[in-house]
Chains A and B, each alone.
Chain A
Amino acid sequence: GAVVSQHPSWVICKSGTSVKIECRSLDFQATTMFWYRQFPKQSLMLMATSNEGSKATYEQGVEKDKFLINHASLTLSTLTVTSAHPEDSSFYICSALSPGSDTQYFGPGTRLTVL
């Protein structure tokens, strides 16, 4: 099956710093990727839709200036959490939409802890 990777798998940072998370589709090209956030013992909440070559579309309540998304190539989308605060600590998961399919393939997730 299709493989999606994320890097880093975990990161600890100080409050006020920025953190970049990468999402890569390894064996297929993805024009559309999605970013989700998952708090402990909760479900996944969609943050934004990342489209290659265009601006991301953010869900209601998600600050686009705080969560910067760049989808510069057909295999890479990045999420940058700017000026991170402890309440941003969460599990961030990306997915990539398989071309010509309705199936999203998920990355392994990145656990962000902001001190």
Chain B
Amino acid sequence: SQQGEEDPQALSIQEGENATMNCSYKTSINNLQWYRQNSGRGLVHLILIRSNEREKHSGRLRVTLDTSKKSSSLLITASRAADTASYFCATDLTGGGNKLTFGTGTQLKVEL
């Protein structure tokens, strides 16, 4: 069953604006990962945040994790048209043997 719910389902912004996507999950995790998927393509790993971490940065990406609320957010700053894609969070559940459970995804469209 789906572990993560993402919100919003779809997001449309102008180039240069920031985009924030949220992910909620239900049970204990080892880590949470964010992936990007361009239409009809494979997944690109963006960032992994462990359960004992609260925030992580990678370039224009900022991820936060609140294990008390079982939620994470992905912030893309100064967005570009090339950021247009679907973004998924995926949880590596405690005792799950590295299996990932994917969220429902957010479709981001960045317009010029």
| A binding-site residues for B, Cβ under 8 Å | 1, 6, 32, 34, 36, 43-46, 49, 91, 93, 95, 97, 102-109, 111
Contacts and interface: CB of A to CB of B under 8 A. Distances in A.
Contacts of A103: 33, 45, 48
Given A34-B99, A49-B97, A91-B40, A104 B104 contact: no
A104 B39 CA distance: 20
B100 A43 contact: no
B100 A104 contact: yes
B25 interface: no
7 contacts: A43-B88, A43-B105, A91-B40, A102-B33, A103-B48, A104-B45, A105-B45
Contacts, number: 54
A6 B43 CA distance: 13
A16 to B, nearest CB: 26
Interface of B: 2, 30-31, 33, 35, 40-45, 48, 88, 92, 97-105
Contacts of B41: 108-109
A108 B105 contact: no
Contacts of B33: 102-104
A111 B99 contact: no
B42 A93 contact: yes
Given A6-B42, A102-B31, 8 more contacts: A32-B98, A45-B102, A46-B99, A93-B43, A95-B43, A102-B98, A103-B48, A111-B40
A46 B98 contact: no
Nearest to A97: B98
B99 A102 contact: no
A108 B44 CA distance: 9
A1 B48 CA distance: 14
B63 to A, nearest CB: 14
B42 to A, nearest CB: 4
Contact of A108 (B42, B92, B99, B101): B42
B7 to A, nearest CB: 13
A46 B101 contact: yes
A71 B87 CA distance: 29
Give the most central of A43, A44, A49, A91: most B CB within 10 Å.
A43
